[in-house]
Structure 1
């Protein structure tokens, strides 16, 4: 038995520890599969396999786990997720009322149904195509561009 094989168990333990720590930070099951593969390498080393065979066992086991066990685990983890939209997605399609009239440049202030006041512009890309949007006019949010809500009058959702 050569020196590399006799002390390979230490390298496997270090690898397992490093992979588990990284997995705790990433929570994506990739490094967990690598840690389990390394555990296979450690066990094969305890049965007296040479270092290259230990490496082969660890690699094959890791690849099999990545492609066969990880996808169902991720699916099971995400199954109970919250279906509610959040952040910008929750604002799309939301109704609001004009607080400050839209000027000739097509910009104004809108208070959304959730109570937030946003700087906004008309979705047409510039000046108001029809009558000016006065305070109290109902609008719909079509998109968010940075800190600006892009809106259309509630009766005109084609843009």
Structure 2
């Protein structure tokens, strides 16, 4: 059995590659796929008739190079946000806010993007119900709004 494994080491390397690829699909860390590429290096050396120790060395070197050189570049590209894309609460900044209750520095309510939010102002001026404001920042579950000088455009 041992002799068969040594003479057919490419099968072991290929099985290792498939196992690492499956683990990568579950983890999405980009470590296991880099090790998988190293295993493909081992497959290549095994198919070219290289000794087992050389297969292990090629696996190790290729894996290390992939982790140290390719993984950081891949992570940078994966985590790059498209220019101007705002998500979550950042997308609400600058949105119109319809004041539902008198809104001051202490309390108030406003409708922003179809949802009712607790609202506050940074100004000393209280906003009256029916007026429109503009969201200037979000702090927790509270929207800070300022009086809007122009009426919002209706769609």
1:118 and 2:113 equivalent?
A: no
Q: Is the 8 A contact 1:88 1:144 kept in 2?
A: no
Residue 60 of structure 2 corresponds to 59
**Structure 1 stretches lacking a partner, 5+ long:** none
- Take 1:97 and 1:37, find their aligned partners in 2: how far apart are those partners? 58
Q: Is the 8 A contact 1:23 1:30 kept in 2?
A: yes
SS in 2 for 1:5: helix
SS in 1 for 2:44: helix
1:102 and 2:124 equivalent?
A: no
Paired residues in the alignment total: 146
- Take 1:5 and 1:154, find their aligned partners in 2: how far apart are those partners? 77
- Take 1:80 and 1:153, find their aligned partners in 2: how far apart are those partners? 29
Change (3 A) 1:81 1:139: closer
Residue 143 of structure 2 corresponds to 150
How far off its partner does 1:25 sit? Answer: 4.4
- Take 2:53 and 2:64, find their aligned partners in 1: how far apart are those partners? 17
How far off its partner does 1:34 sit? Answer: 1.9
- Take 1:15 and 1:43, find their aligned partners in 2: how far apart are those partners? 13
Q: Is the 8 A contact 2:134 2:147 kept in 1?
A: yes
Q: CA RMSD in A?
A: 3.5
Deviations 1:66-121 (A, max 9, x none): 333345555666779464222222113433121122378x2322122xx3223224
Change (3 A) 1:83 1:59: farther
Residue 134 of structure 1 corresponds to 128
- Take 1:12 and 1:123, find their aligned partners in 2: how far apart are those partners? 64
